[in-house]
Structure 1
Amino acid sequence: MPKALVIAEEALVSLNVSLIDETWTENFEIPANTVGLRRVEFDDCIYILAEASKEDSRFVIVDVDILAKVEFPADTLSRIFRAGICKFDRTSALPTNWQPFHEGPIFSIYVSNSRTSRQRLHFYQRAKDTEHLFVFLVTPDAVPFRGISPNYGVFDRAVSGILDALVAEVVAPAETFGEFGILLSEHDGLGLGFDGLLNEWYNSKLNTAQRDFVTRDHSGPVRLRGAAGTGKTQAMAVKCLWDLYTDADGDNQKTFAFITHSSALAHDVVRRLFLVLDPTQRWEKLTTSEGRPKLWIGTLYDLAQERMSYERKGLTPLSTDGLEGREFQMDFIQDAISKIGKNPRHALPLRAKVKNLSAVFTPEGPGPSLLQDIANEIACVLDADRVRKGHDSGKNYLTARRESWQMPLETRADRELMLEIYDAYRAELQSHKLFGMDQMISDFERYLVSHEWDHLRETQGFDVIFVDEYHYFNRIETMIFHNLFAPRAAVNGSLPLFMAYDLKQSISDGALNAGAARFRNPKVGESKQVELQQVYRSTGEIVSFLRQIDGAFPALNLEGELASELEQYSGKSERELGAVPEIWEFDKNIELIDKVVADAKAETVRLQGRGRQVAVLCMSMDMFRIYREAGRIKENVVRVESREDLDQLRYAKRKCVLSMPEYVAGLQFETVYLIHVDAADWATHDLSVGAKRRYLSRLYLGASRAANRLILVSSHERGGASPILSGLYQANSPDREN
C-alpha cells in the first residue's frame, strides 16, 4: 500500500469526472490508453500527472492511510478532487451541504453523502509554506482544529519525489479493461447527451438557429430561448469556448464569465461539457496578456462570496447554490411561522381578520402548498423588493396592486401577517449567524455601485458574460449583471450578455417579477432573440405531451408582456417515434413505490446496467422526503436530493435515480417514472395561480427529462390521477408530425 497519493492540479478535472470503483484505492492504476494522464510510482508514493504538469505545479497530497478509515473511499476521493479544484482555481466554493468549516490554513468537510456518518475530512492549505493542499486526517466527528496537526513525514516524502516523478519514464500497465477500478473516458457520464469536439460542433454539428447564436458578435446582448432538450446549454458552451479561444489567439485582452444559478450546473455540468469539447483543458490555463485568468465559471453567489471576501471575514452564507439555498430557507420560514402562530401579540389581533393565511394559526400550520407560496413571496417579492416592516416599502406593500402570479393576499391583515412572518424569518437567520441568498445579493449589488468597485471595475470586470438558466434569477439578481462588466466592454451603450432560458422550466416565480422587460433589456441594452425549436433529446410522443402541458400555461392568465415569453411550445422532435407515454395508477403509496422501483430495476437490466439512465422523479416534496428515507428501496436507488448530488449519478449502475424534477434539470434519462401526479396536489380549493403555474412547470420539467419512455404514476391514496392529466393527455393521439 502506498504512503501517499499525489495529484497534479492539471489532472484534477479529468479525475473529477471519472467513474471510480472502491477497488481503485488499492493501487491507483491508470489505464494504458488514457490520454493526457500518467501514473508514476516513486518512493512509496503514487503520482497522477498530466501532460502540462511541471515542477511549479500545485499538488493535492493525500495521506493514503485516511482512506482505510472511511466507509466509501471512492466518494471521499471524489470530494478530494472537487476540493482541490475549488482551492486551486478560486472560481468555485465548496458545496454548503458538505458543511465546510475553515479556521486559519485548515478546513474540513464531511467525508461522504452518508446520512449516518459524521466523519470529517481535514485539509491543510499551503502546508509548510508550499502551494500544495495536504489531506491529512479523518475524525469521527467535528473536532477543534487547535488540537490536530498533520503528519509531515508523509507530506515531505511526497514533495521530495515530485521532480523525480515528473522526469520518470512511465511503465504502462497491460491494457485490460475493468482491472483498474477507474473509468476516465466517460466525460459525458451524467446523461448530458453531448459529445464531439469543439471544432466538430462549430463546423458541422450546430443547427441553423444554434449557429446563428454562436456566431453573434459582442456588440450587444442576446437571449437564447428554447424548450427543454433544444440544446441551449450546449450552444452556450460552444460559443463561450469558441469566442474564448478566438480572442486568446488574437488580441488576448478579453475576460469571460459563465454564470449559473446552480453550483452543480456550473461545476458538474458546464465544466464537464467544456471537457468534452476540449479534453486538453486549455480553457483552464488561459490568461490575458496581463496575467489574469480569461475564464471564470461559477454561480452568482460564488462570485459574491469571492468578491465580498466572506470567508476571510468569518461570515457564512446560507448557501452558494440557488436551489439549495431556497430549500434551506424553507426550514427557517417554517420555524418563523411556528413562532408567529404561538405569539399572542400576533394571534389575537390578526387571527379573526386573515383569510389566505389563516392556517398559520392552526395546530398543524400551513400545508406544503401554502408554505411554498409563502417562501415564494419572500424570495420573489419581499427580498427582491427589499420590503421592510415599518418602512415606506412596507407601507406600499400593504396597499399595492398584486399581480396574478403572486399568491392571493386578499385582506390587509394577510399582508400584515406576511410582513410579520418575513420579519421573524430574518431574525431566525440572524440568530443562526447566517445570511440568506437575497441578503447576500443585496449587499453585493450595493458593493457593485461603490467607489471601490469603480476603481477595480476596469481590471476585475468581465468583457463577455454568459448566463445559463436565466429563468431562475430574480429581478434583483439580474440587475447585477450590467455592473459586472468592465467599462471597455460596452459598444454604443450595449453589453455582450448572452442569456439562455425557458420560463416554463422555472419552479420559482422570481423570473416573473418585473415582467419580461428584464429579458429584453436587462440594463445592458435591447437584446436580440434567437429561438431554438429542434428537440434532440425526446421522442415525438414525449414532445407531443410537452406541447399539451404547455397549452395549460395561457389558461393561468399571466397577462401583459409575459405572454410572449410564455407563448405556445414550439419544439419539434428530431428523434424517431417511440412509445406513447403511459399512465399507471395504484391504490396505496407503498404499492406505488414498490412496483415502480421494481420496474425501474428491471429497466436498468434492459439498459445493460446503465442505472443512471433510469429516473424515478417525484412531483410531491412530502412524498419524496418519505421515500428518500425508506429502507425498503434503499439498495435499489441512488438519491439525488439537491443538484450538488449530481456526481453520485456516476455510481448508478444497476440502481435507478430517485429525485425530484428540479434537482436533475439539464440532464436526460432514457426512462422516467414521474410519480405522484396526484389529484391531492392540484385539486385544492385554495391553490393559487402561482402554485398552479409552479405545479405545471414541475410536471413539464419532469416529463422533459425523458428521452424514450415516460410513465406518469399516481396513487388513489392521494386522490388518484391529477385532473390536469385528463385535460392534457390523450394516449391515442401521439404527435405524428414530428
Structure 2
Amino acid sequence: MKFLYFDEGACSEIISERVFQSPEFELGKLLISVLRGTTPKARLTFRCVATSAADGVFVLTPEKGVQNYIVIDLEEAKDLFQLDDSGLLLSIQKTFRFATKCWGGLKPSVNERILTNNKGIVFPYPIGMQTALRVCIDRNPDAKRRVSRDTKKALLLYKFSDNEGIGVAEEPRLTNFRKAWENRSEGYALAAQQLQDLVNLTGNGSTSLAVTELRGANKPRLVEAGLEGWISVLTNSQLAFVNSSLTVPHRIEGPAGTGKTLCLVLKALKTLKDASTAHIPHQLLFIAHSEPTRRTIENLFAMNGGEDFINADFEVLAKPQSIKVTTLQGLCAHLLKREISDSELVDRDAYESKLIQRLYAIEGVENALRDEYESHLPFLSESFRKFLTETEKWAIAEMLQHEISVQIKGRADQDLNKYKKLDRLKIGFPVENDGDKTFSFLMYQKYQGELEAAAQFDTDDVVLSAISQLNTPIWRRRRAREGFSSIFIDETHLFNLNELSVFHRLTKSELQQPIAYSVDRSQALGDRGWTDLSFEAAFDPSGTLGQSDPTRIRSVFRCSPEIVDLAFSVTSSGATLFTNFHNPLTASVSAFTAEEERKSRTPAYLSFASDDAMLEGAFDRADVLAREMGVLKADVAVIVFGDDLFARCQEFAKANRKPIEVVKSRGDLDAVTRAKNSGRFVLTAPEFVGGLEFAGVVLVGVDGGRVPPNGSGLEFEPSQNFLNYAAHQRLYVAITRARFRVEILGNMARGMSDILRSSVSAGLLDANASAA
C-alpha cells in the first residue's frame, strides 16, 4: 500500500462522528486498521466506505460524486504510522480538520500554519508536550499538470517530522499522488458497488453506526438514555468495565470528564438487572463523597431506569434487588446508630466536615506553639523549626489536617510509635526526626482536644469506631445475611486509608471483594501516597484475592481539545514538585467532534486594574460567554480562588444585585438546577466545583501571590511546595469543569500566576485577550 485517498465527504464524516475521535471506540479501531492497511475494505458509516485499488486505499462517499480530496503518501510520510493508535488518530483528525478549513476558505487554527510557499503545517500535539512533530501538507500539489484536468481542490500529506527540512524550498515527491489521482475513477466505481452490495445485504442500508444520539447543539449527553441506550455509545473500555463480572476489586481510572461516575452507575444498574433476571437476591451499596453528590447519583439511577431498585434505608431485605446510595458519614452513622447522634458529627457532609475540622486544626496549632514549643525546641530539626516559625498559621493548620488524615489517623491508628516509623510524605509535613513527629503528634492531640471540648467526632473518629463495630464476633456471624452483595465507590481519591478500610468489611464474604471504584488521583488534595498497590491493599488487606482489575479511560468527553491542552499544561508545570503526582492527561485524547470544536475558543487570560474591577468583570464576562454560546447564565460558572476573595465576591454580587446561586458543597447539582430555573449565575470556589460541568467557566483571582498563595510568612520551601501542589490540583479541577470556554481573570498589580506562564508561552492561553 502506497497511498491513502480521502474525499471531502469522508473527511467530514470522520471529523463529525464521536466514535472516530478515539481508538477506545470500535469504529475508531476500524478507522485505524484502514489507515494502517490491515483492513483495506470496510464500511465506516452508512454512506462512507473504504476500498482498495491501484496500490492504495480510497475512503469515499460515492453518492456525492467526485469531490475535493486529500492524499496521504505512505512512503514519504511513513513516520506518521510509527505513532501509537491514539497518536495516529489524533494526527489524522487534526489533518482532516485543517483540510476542511482549506476547502471552505476558513482561517487556520492556533495549531496550524500557512507558509509563504502555500504549504500547510499542522501541529497535532499540544506544544506543552515538548514535541515539534508536525504534519506537512502541499495545498496545491502537481498544480501545472492538474490545472486543466482537475477542477477539484487537492491536498497532499507528504511529510511527518519534528524538523523543518529545507523550509520553503521543500518540494514533495508526486509519484504516489499522481497514482491516486489517476485511479480515483476506479476507486469511486468500486466504492459505489461495495456500498450497493452492503445495501442489498442488509436490506435497508441504514445502519452500521448508531452514534448520532450524542450529537446536538445543547445536549452533548443523554443522561436519561437508560442502560440499553448508553451501551451503544460507550467506548470499548467503558463497555468492558460495565459488562465485566465483579469478582475482584475493579478500578476505573481516568482524567476529569471521561465518564467515570456514569460508568459506575451503569455497572451498578447492570449488576442489579442481571441479578433480577436470574432471580438472585442482590443488595448493592453505592458510596458518594458528599451529600449533594449522593443526591445527584440517586437521580442518575432514577433517570436511567433504576428507580425501582433504590432503597430509602439500610434494610437489606426490603427488596430482592436493591441499591442504597449514601455518603461514608451516613454509612458510619448507621453502623453506630446506638452510639452516636447526628449532633455529635462534625457534619454529615464529608467536605463540609473537613472545612470545620480545619478550624479546629488552627486552634490546635496555635495552642501547641503557645504552650509546648519552647520545651520541645531542643529536639526539633532545624528545618522543622524554620517551618514552624516562618509559615503562617493557616498554612500549618491546612498541612496538619492533611497529616492527621493521611498519616496519624490514616496509617498510624493514632499511635505515636507507629507514626514515628512511617516515611514522611513527599509533599506534606516536613518532619525529619522523632522530635519533629512528636511535636506534630502533640499538635494533633491539641486538635483532638478541641474536638472533645466541642463534644464532636471528626470523619476519622467515626470511621475508626465503625471499623471496630465490624470487627466483632456478632458482625462476623451476621455478615453473610446483612452484608452487601457488591459495593461501588465514587471519587475514591478523596478518601484516606482509614475511610477506605471500612468497605472490605461490609461485603457478604471476606473471601470475595466485589468492589468497583473510580479514581482520578490528580483531584486528590496534596500527597496521599496513592499507588496501585496502596489501592489494592485497601480493598484486599489479606492479599489473597489476586490482582485487582483496572480499567483506564483515555477519551475526555467533557472538555474541548483547547481545554484539555490547558489542563495538561497546568499539571505539567508542576512536574518538579509532583514526583509522585499522577497526571492522567499525558495519555488522554479529546473525543470532541469538529462541530463541537467550532464552539470552542482558546482559553484567555484577562487582567484588571483592581480586585473590584475584576469582580465586576467576572459577571460581565460570564454574561458575554453565555450570550456568545447561546446558553443560560447558569451554564457559565464563576469560580473564585481564595477564601477572602470568594467572600468579597458574594458581597459584591449582593450589593450590585447580581442574580447568583452560591454553590458551597462539592457537586451540588441541586443548586445548579435552581440557578437554571431562576436565570441566575452560579458562583462557587474550586473546592466545591468538583463533580459539576458547565459550558464555560470564568476563573477569578488566578494571579501572583494568590494561586498559589505566597509572600510574607510563606517562603519556607516545604510549606510552599504543599500550597503549590494544592494550587495545581484546584486549578486543574476548575479548568476541567468547562466544555467549550475558559476565561481566567487576574489583578494586574499582582501579575499572572506562575502556574500559567508555561501555558502562555506555549500558545495554549491567550494573554492578549480583551475584556471588551
Distance 2:239 2:446 in 1: 50
2:427 is the alignment partner of 1:366:
no
**Where does 1:638-657 land on structure 2 (aligned, <5 Å)?**
638-643=661-666, 645-652=668-675, 653-657=678-682
Distance 1:644 1:732 in 2: 31
Distance 1:302 1:191 in 2: 33
Please, which of 454, 457, 460 is the counterpart of residue 482 of structure 2? 460
**Which stretches of structure 1, 4 residues or longer, exceed 6 Å deviation after superposition?**
285-290
Which sits farther off after the overlay, 640-649 or 372-381?
640-649
The residue number in structure 1 matching 2:266 is: 238
Distance 1:593 1:555 in 2: 33
Gaps of 5+ in 2: 1-217, 767-772
**Where does 1:708-719 land on structure 2 (aligned, <5 Å)?**
708-717=740-749, 719=750
> Is this contact kept in 2: 1:504–1:566, CA < 8 A?
yes
The residue number in structure 2 matching 1:182 is: none
Alpha carbons of structure 1 residues 567 and 197: separation in structure 2 relative to 1, 3 Å: closer
After TM superposition, give the deviation of residue 569 of structure 1 in Å: 4.3
> Is this contact kept in 1: 2:428–2:722, CA < 8 A?
yes
RMSD between aligned residues:
3.1
After TM superposition, give the deviation of residue 299 of structure 1 in Å: 1.1
Alpha carbons of structure 1 residues 642 and 734: separation in structure 2 relative to 1, 3 Å: closer
2:308 is the alignment partner of 1:275:
no
Alpha carbons of structure 1 residues 285 and 319: separation in structure 2 relative to 1, 3 Å: closer
Alpha carbons of structure 1 residues 700 and 312: separation in structure 2 relative to 1, 3 Å: closer
Distance 1:399 1:549 in 2: 35
Normalised by the length of structure 1, the TM-score is 0.66
Instruction: Summarize deviations over 1:578-597 as a string: whole Å, max 9, x none.
Output: 20000112232122111112
> Is this contact kept in 2: 1:260–1:298, CA < 8 A?
yes
> Is this contact kept in 2: 1:672–1:706, CA < 8 A?
yes
After TM superposition, give the deviation of residue 387 of structure 1 in Å: 5.5
For residue 507 of structure 1, what is the amino acid of its counterpart? L
Please, which of 433, 439, 455 is the counterpart of residue 417 of structure 1? 439
> Is this contact kept in 2: 1:301–1:321, CA < 8 A?
yes
Alpha carbons of structure 1 residues 606 and 568: separation in structure 2 relative to 1, 3 Å: closer
After TM superposition, give the deviation of residue 695 of structure 1 in Å: 1.6
For residue 366 of structure 2, what is the amino acid of its counterpart? S
For residue 632 of structure 1, what is the amino acid of its counterpart? A
Distance 2:754 2:338 in 1: 48
The residue number in structure 2 matching 1:376 is: 402
**Where does 1:78-97 land on structure 2 (aligned, <5 Å)?**
none
Alpha carbons of structure 1 residues 639 and 633: separation in structure 2 relative to 1, 3 Å: farther
For residue 423 of structure 1, what is the amino acid of its counterpart? Q
Distance 2:312 2:743 in 1: 45
Is the partner of 2:539 in helix, strand or coil?
A: coil
Is the partner of 1:666 in helix, strand or coil?
A: coil
Gaps of 5+ in 1: 1-189
Alpha carbons of structure 1 residues 202 and 369: separation in structure 2 relative to 1, 3 Å: same
> Is this contact kept in 2: 1:617–1:661, CA < 8 A?
yes
Distance 1:258 1:566 in 2: 25
After TM superposition, give the deviation of residue 528 of structure 1 in Å: 1.1
Distance 1:220 1:638 in 2: 42
Alpha carbons of structure 1 residues 400 and 272: separation in structure 2 relative to 1, 3 Å: closer
Alpha carbons of structure 1 residues 442 and 386: separation in structure 2 relative to 1, 3 Å: farther
2:716 is the alignment partner of 1:686:
yes
The residue number in structure 1 matching 2:538 is: 522
> Is this contact kept in 2: 1:224–1:529, CA < 8 A?
yes
> Is this contact kept in 2: 1:252–1:289, CA < 8 A?
no
Distance 1:312 1:430 in 2: 14
Please, which of 349, 355, 363 is the counterpart of residue 321 of structure 1? 349
For residue 472 of structure 2, what is the amino acid of its counterpart? S
Distance 1:620 1:254 in 2: 45
For residue 642 of structure 1, what is the amino acid of its counterpart? S
Distance 1:337 1:223 in 2: 37
> Is this contact kept in 1: 2:379–2:435, CA < 8 A?
no
Distance 1:351 1:200 in 2: 67
2:738 is the alignment partner of 1:706:
yes
Alpha carbons of structure 1 residues 663 and 607: separation in structure 2 relative to 1, 3 Å: same
For residue 724 of structure 1, what is the amino acid of its counterpart? I
Percent same amino acid at aligned positions? 22
Please, which of 372, 377, 401 is the counterpart of residue 350 of structure 1? 377
After TM superposition, give the deviation of residue 193 of structure 1 in Å: 4.5
Is the partner of 1:568 in helix, strand or coil?
A: helix
Which sits farther off after the overlay, 272-281 or 247-256?
272-281
2:511 is the alignment partner of 1:485:
no
> Is this contact kept in 2: 1:540–1:734, CA < 8 A?
no
> Is this contact kept in 2: 1:677–1:721, CA < 8 A?
yes
Distance 1:696 1:314 in 2: 35
Distance 2:224 2:667 in 1: 26
After TM superposition, give the deviation of residue 644 of structure 1 in Å: 7.4
2:236 is the alignment partner of 1:208:
yes
> Is this contact kept in 2: 1:594–1:633, CA < 8 A?
no
Please, which of 507, 513, 524 is the counterpart of residue 525 of structure 2? 507
Distance 1:316 1:248 in 2: 39
Which sits farther off after the overlay, 456-465 or 275-284?
275-284
After TM superposition, give the deviation of residue 404 of structure 1 in Å: 1.2
The residue number in structure 1 matching 2:751 is: 720
| Matched pairs, number | 528
Q: Which structure has the larger Rg?
A: 2
Is the partner of 2:538 in helix, strand or coil?
A: coil
After TM superposition, give the deviation of residue 634 of structure 1 in Å: 5.6
Alpha carbons of structure 1 residues 211 and 670: separation in structure 2 relative to 1, 3 Å: same
Which sits farther off after the overlay, 373-382 or 460-469?
373-382
Distance 1:505 1:498 in 2: 19
> Is this contact kept in 1: 2:280–2:320, CA < 8 A?
no
For residue 274 of structure 1, what is the amino acid of its counterpart? F
For residue 617 of structure 1, what is the amino acid of its counterpart? I
Distance 2:402 2:220 in 1: 30
Alpha carbons of structure 1 residues 289 and 308: separation in structure 2 relative to 1, 3 Å: closer
**Where does 1:501-580 land on structure 2 (aligned, <5 Å)?**
501-510=519-528, 512=529, 515-524=531-540, 525=545, 526-552=547-573, 554-559=575-580, 568-575=586-593, 576-577=596-597, 578-580=600-602
After TM superposition, give the deviation of residue 370 of structure 1 in Å: 3.3
Instruction: Summarize deviations over 1:436-471 as a string: whole Å, max 9, x none.
Output: 100111111111111221122111111111111011
**Where does 1:107-256 land on structure 2 (aligned, <5 Å)?**
193-256=221-284
For residue 531 of structure 1, what is the amino acid of its counterpart? R
> Is this contact kept in 2: 1:540–1:572, CA < 8 A?
yes
Alpha carbons of structure 1 residues 729 and 217: separation in structure 2 relative to 1, 3 Å: farther
Alpha carbons of structure 1 residues 692 and 734: separation in structure 2 relative to 1, 3 Å: closer
For residue 665 of structure 2, what is the amino acid of its counterpart? S
Please, which of 593, 607, 632 is the counterpart of residue 655 of structure 2? 632
> Is this contact kept in 1: 2:636–2:681, CA < 8 A?
yes
After TM superposition, give the deviation of residue 400 of structure 1 in Å: 4.7
Distance 1:241 1:723 in 2: 45
2:610 is the alignment partner of 1:588:
yes
For residue 710 of structure 1, what is the amino acid of its counterpart? V
